Chains A and B, each alone.
Chain A
Amino acid sequence: MKGMFKKLVGVTAFSSLLFLSACGGNSEQAGGDSEGASDGKVKADVGVVSFITGSGAAYGEAIKGGLELAKEEINEKGDVELNLIFEDSAGKQDQALTAAQKLINSDNVTAIIGPTLSTEMNVVGPEADLSGVPIIGTSTTAEGIPQIGDYVFRNSIPEALAIPASMEKAIEKYDAKKVALIYGNDDVFTKSGFDTMKATAEKMGLEILTTETFQKGQSDYNAQLTKIKSYKPDLILASALYNEGAVIMDQARKMGIDVPFVGGNGFNSPEVIKIAGDSSDGLIVATPWYGEKEDPKVQGFVKKFKEKYGNDPDQFAAQAYDALYILADAIKNAGEADRDKVRDALAETKDFEGILGNFSFDEEGDVIMDPTVLVIEDGEFVVFE
């Protein structure tokens, strides 16, 4: 028996040795292998932590698509040469943290883009900050993300900015006084969106008739909607991801609820129209991304994205696309792939003109930009006025 035990200790010791020796070569902290090359190009490795497998894989795929496209264009231009290293987090904090550790310590990336979910960022952000690696969230919209530390940024428009913008416009137009709320209570994204909605509604002095919840994997929202219908609200505030949100709208319209819906960030996707069809008319969302904008940059992106992947880009793709451009810009300005210098350059990003519009970071690394409020009319997103 003692022999067995010794064996285990031996095995553990041996395997830890294996780990250690495997990483012996490259433990310099500041991206030693990616310094400026002789031809004036700055070469840099950028790590991406993304939700590539599992229930949120649709977001991960969009983000990956946006980043790949941006990378090709940036490398073609030739000021900087970026190399993307993708790691999957499967939407789980521990896996996101492990993936980030790998990128930070083994791959020695200059900066990280991702992770996809705010929950993951809550875990990865402090670690990246501690290790001094700039990290940009492209889809993390919850409160307090850039406040994690100096190295944490995001270019995704926070719910706290987007939801009040769309609510104000919708309430003004429809003269709404009574609202009903519905949200997914077991998802951090929809829950924090709901918190913002509720706070905004209270601030605006709206009467909240009822608050209903739903859970992941549910496909029957009839009970909640029937209840909401009986209160006859002027407006429904729905904090849902588009997958569920589209189905909610579909079932609501079938039931005869025809009031407009105001959705959060996660509700904003062309997929809503695909899933819900005509039923999606009347959805109001604030978005940093509007694919119909008559801006050659935007149209160029939409065209290229569609050629490459066969579908229209959503905000996840667009935000990821812009994030890499912002990062490339910062790396170019920093002049070398040094983590601290890139961070400083990132923090100075101001009036960056991307496909999302005019973009700056505030002193905390949060977003300064004006969202566009959109509404679905006749199966198309149009600017809401």
Chain B
Amino acid sequence: MIAELINPYYLQVASFMLINIILGISVYITLSTGQLSLANAGFMGIGAYTSALLTIHFELPIVVGIIAGALVAAICGILIGIPTLRLQGVYLAIVTLGFGEVIRVVFVNWETLTNGSVGISGIPHIGREILSTLQGFGFNPSMLGLQNNQFIFLSIFTLLLLVTIFIIWFFRRQHSSRVGRAFAAIKLDEKAAESMGINITYYKVLAFAQGALVAGFAGAMYAHILAYISPADFAYHRAVEILIFVVFGGSEVIWGPVFGAFFLTLMPEVLRFISEYRYMIYGLIIIIMMAVRPQGLIDVNMLNWFKRKRVKGGHKHGAGNQKGM
């Protein structure tokens, strides 16, 4: 029954959508302290390459590779985060943009390790690996009435869905915790936050590293789903694409990037005839959003409206961060 309904194409789109959601969240986390990081495509690349190389050369299990990939990206995030903290707003954005480009150039040139622009192929595929592991236990997809490739994509989708739900849950918890309030205070006014005794260095690096960790994780997943990566996957355009998810969906609440990635990944698939104009539409979306609704489609007020609860105090966007969620 269900077997006939499962189409790998849709699962594939849904899986990329989830990866994009995770990437969008990674930018959102860093932005929640008011820092714009354009290096997340680079962190994604670090995660992808680390995991791919570890699983290929040392034959580590994929899980270990993915965790290592995310951690290495986070460490790079800390290393780049500490010295750049002195920089504000646009300076930080440009440096992170530059950092992302430098990473790509290193991937291209460090041929003995990364195979250069030819890229790494034959990366263990997470779905096929799950299947073969389960087959080792005597399981066969046909028991569920599924074909092999249906099962493979179903397992990838399920896994990603669980992880995405966990990430959303975690950062929503964090948002209403001490850490989240500190982030919001720093975003609102760094100096005031500092005078209130918030260790802004610590929290800014924390936000940066968390963003890198999540981006690195998404990158590692990406590597094990496509089974092939090359430096061109992690270039400037990727960084901008991730940024668009956040700008379009909204950067105030976590549902913003989630919705942005969901909608913008789905749109070109549903309307494939517009795919030729996709990037022009992206450009227009950014311009219009910035002019009309710079906080993104989904903001605190909208969520409150959704909840149909009366909001105490007439706080505007930005100011609502602490209580919004």
Give me the interface of A with B, judged by CB distance under 8 Å: 1, 3-5, 7-9, 12, 15-16, 19-24, 27, 29, 52-54, 87-88, 90, 92-94, 97-98, 101-102, 104-106, 119, 122-123, 126-127, 130-131, 142, 185-188, 191-192, 195, 215
Give every chain B residue within 8 A of A19 (Cβ-Cβ).
7, 10, 13-14
Main secondary structure of the interface of A (DSSP, over half): helix
Least CB distance, A337 to chain B, in whole angstroms = 19
- The CA-CA distance from A16 to B278 in the complex, in Å, is 23
| Contact with B325, one of A1, A94, A186 (Cβ below 8 angstroms) | A1
> Hey, what's the 0/1 contact readout for B78-122 against A, CB within 8 Å counting as 1?
000000000000000000000000001100110000001111010
Decide if B228 is an interface residue (CB 8 Å cutoff): yes
Main secondary structure of the interface of B (DSSP, over half): helix
| Contact with A23, one of B9, B104, B231, B278 (Cβ below 8 angstroms) | B9
Given A8-B255, A93-B233, A192-B118, also A119-B272 (CB < 8 A)? no
Give every chain A residue within 8 A of B117 (Cβ-Cβ).
185-188, 191
Give every chain A residue within 8 A of B12 (Cβ-Cβ).
97-98, 101
| Contact with B14, one of A7, A8, A16 (Cβ below 8 angstroms) | A16
Least CB distance, A48 to chain B, in whole angstroms = 13
Give every chain A residue within 8 A of B303 (Cβ-Cβ).
4
Decide if B301 is an interface residue (CB 8 Å cutoff): no
Give every chain A residue within 8 A of B278 (Cβ-Cβ).
53, 90
Given A19-B14, A53-B276, A142-B118, also A186-B231 (CB < 8 A)? yes
Give every chain A residue within 8 A of B147 (Cβ-Cβ).
29
Pair B116/A191 contact, Cβ less than 8 Å: yes
Give every chain A residue within 8 A of B269 (Cβ-Cβ).
98, 102
Pair A1/B161 contact, Cβ less than 8 Å: no
Name the CB-closest residue of B to A96. Answer: B226
- The CA-CA distance from A186 to B255 in the complex, in Å, is 36
Please count the residue pairs between chain A and chain B whose beta carbons lie under 8 angstroms apart in the complex.
122
Name the CB-closest residue of B to A53. Answer: B276
| Contact with B276, one of A88, A92, A101, A188 (Cβ below 8 angstroms) | A88
| Contact with B116, one of A8, A20, A87, A185 (Cβ below 8 angstroms) | A185
Pair A94/B226 contact, Cβ less than 8 Å: yes
Name the CB-closest residue of B to A26. Answer: B7
Pair B10/A23 contact, Cβ less than 8 Å: yes
Decide if B16 is an interface residue (CB 8 Å cutoff): yes
Decide if B209 is an interface residue (CB 8 Å cutoff): no
- Besides A52-B276, A53-B278, A188-B118, 10 new A-B residue pairs in contact (Cβ under 8 A), listed by A number: A8-B168, A12-B161, A19-B14, A94-B222, A94-B233, A130-B149, A131-B8, A185-B108, A186-B231, A187-B232
Top 7 nearest A-B pairs by Cβ distance? A19-B10, A101-B9, A23-B7, A105-B9, A20-B5, A122-B228, A101-B12
- The CA-CA distance from A54 to B255 in the complex, in Å, is 31
Give every chain A residue within 8 A of B8 (Cβ-Cβ).
101, 104-105, 131
Number of B residues near A (Cβ < 8 Å) is: 49
Pair A27/B116 contact, Cβ less than 8 Å: no
Give me the interface of B with A, judged by CB distance under 8 Å: 4-10, 12-14, 16, 104-105, 108-109, 116-119, 121, 147-149, 161, 165, 168-169, 172, 222, 226-228, 230-233, 255, 258, 266, 269, 272, 275-276, 278-279, 303, 306-307, 325
Least CB distance, A266 to chain B, in whole angstroms = 13
- The CA-CA distance from A4 to B13 in the complex, in Å, is 24
Pair A185/B109 contact, Cβ less than 8 Å: yes
- The CA-CA distance from A7 to B119 in the complex, in Å, is 40
Least CB distance, A348 to chain B, in whole angstroms = 26
- The CA-CA distance from A151 to B21 in the complex, in Å, is 34
Give every chain B residue within 8 A of A54 (Cβ-Cβ).
279
Give every chain B residue within 8 A of A215 (Cβ-Cβ).
108
- The CA-CA distance from A215 to B222 in the complex, in Å, is 25
Give every chain B residue within 8 A of A12 (Cβ-Cβ).
161
Least CB distance, B207 to chain A, in whole angstroms = 22
- The CA-CA distance from A130 to B152 in the complex, in Å, is 11
Pair A20/B6 contact, Cβ less than 8 Å: yes
- 10 example contacts (A-B, Cβ-Cβ < 8 A) are as follows A12-B161, A88-B272, A90-B275, A98-B9, A98-B13, A101-B9, A119-B228, A123-B226, A187-B232, A188-B118
Given A16-B14, A87-B272, A123-B228, also A188-B7 (CB < 8 A)? no
Pair B231/A104 contact, Cβ less than 8 Å: no
Pair B108/A186 contact, Cβ less than 8 Å: yes
| Contact with B9, one of A106, A122, A191 (Cβ below 8 angstroms) | A106
